[in-house]
Amino acid sequence: MSSARRAAEILWEHWRLRTHIAALPPGVRPHSRVEGYEIQREVQACAGQALAGWKLAATSASGQRHIGVVGPMAGRLLAERTFADGSEVPLTGNLMRVAEPEFAFTLGRDLPPRTVPYTPVEVLAAVASLHSAIEVPDSRYADFVHAGEAQLIADNACADYFVLGRAAPGSWRSLDLREHRVSAQVVGRYTREGRGANVLGDPSAALTWLANELSGLGLTLSAGEVVTTGTCMPSLELEGGDQVRVDFGVLGTVEARFGL
């Protein structure tokens, strides 16, 4: 058995049981981004779930500082952990207990690996639709803040659950997503504001980053896959029983309820 597979089995077992570890054992612990992505691929294989798409983590400077990384990371959205708008999302075993309002894109055609980097124009031309979304991240590391980049990537870049809103009107292409405002409320408790520029400067820049990150790994960003680009505001702290509503203005709304 490869060390990547063994590491993945350890992580997936803790995901399945909703338990935590301090770190992967030294003999199977990744020491680079590439090794982290190899384990991540094996985590999906252990899960036996289809790939619904991709998430980006640490797309803001504050997010990068919080977990001690120097740039974004990609994780896999697993099909059985992806929910429709208005669904109830479990919080059992979730250490982070936050919801993150995000701009998400669905691909209309493949972006396969190549030697020349993709441009934002090329990547946006491959997009079929834009959606409002809520990501619910988590980690199997008890101290995820100090786990380090390679281990966080191996742990699927903290991907747990994901809620996808309806497709926005096609007029989204005429908007400056950098300046687009988003309002969120944890119903009955507090509200928070955000904008597209908080996502690596522009949600489309985050999408382009992912296309090139996957290309460098020899992976295709495929038609039908969803890409959620990272939170556009400070994460929404959750308590069991909370309801979250996010208003993306002309782009639509998305909401989720959270279990106890």
> What CA–CA distances, in Å, run from 65 to 55, 61, 103, 131, 145?
19, 6, 22, 27, 9
For residue 179, tell me if it sits in a domain. yes
Closest CA to 22 of 97, 100, 99, 95: 95
- The per-residue pLDDT for range 26-84, each reduced to its tens digit, is 999 999 999 999 999 999 999 999 999 999 999 988 888 888 898 999 999 999 999 99
For residue 25, tell me if it sits in a domain. no
H or E element in which residue 96 lies: none
Closest CA to 48 of 88, 98, 10, 9: 9
For residue 20, tell me if it sits in a domain. no
For residue 82, tell me if it sits in a domain. yes
Structural domain span for residue 57: 51-258
> What CA–CA distances, in Å, run from 81 to 32, 53, 75, 109, 242?
27, 11, 13, 23, 19
H or E element in which residue 230 lies: strand 226-231
Closest CA to 219 of 34, 64, 8, 7: 34
For residue 44, tell me if it sits in a domain. no
Q: What is the pLDDT of residue 235?
A: 96
Q: What is the pLDDT of residue 1?
A: 73
Q: What is the pLDDT of residue 70?
A: 84
One-letter amino acid identity for 188?
G
| 220: helix, strand or coil | coil
For residue 41, tell me if it sits in a domain. no
> What pTM value is reported for the model?
0.96
Q: What is the pLDDT of residue 66?
A: 84
Total domains, the chain: 1
| Residue 60 phi, psi dihedral angles, 5° rounding | -125, 155
- The per-residue pLDDT for range 137-196, each reduced to its tens digit, is 999 999 999 999 999 999 999 999 999 999 999 999 999 999 999 999 999 999 999 999
Residue whose entry in the numeric block shows the structure tokens 């946006």: 124
For residue 40, tell me if it sits in a domain. no
Q: Is 9 left (phi over 0), alpha (psi -120 to 50) or beta?
A: alpha
Q: What is the pLDDT of residue 114?
A: 98
| pLDDT above 80 for 92 | yes
Q: What is the pLDDT of residue 68?
A: 87
177/174 Cα distance (integer angstroms)? 9
CATH of the domain at 229: 3.90.850.10
Please compute, for residue 51, the number of CA atoms within 13 A of its CA located in the half-sphere on the CB side. Answer: 21
For residue 5, tell me if it sits in a domain. no
Q: What does the pLDDT average to over 12-22?
A: 97
- The per-residue pLDDT for range 112-139, each reduced to its tens digit, is 999 999 999 999 999 999 999 999 999 9
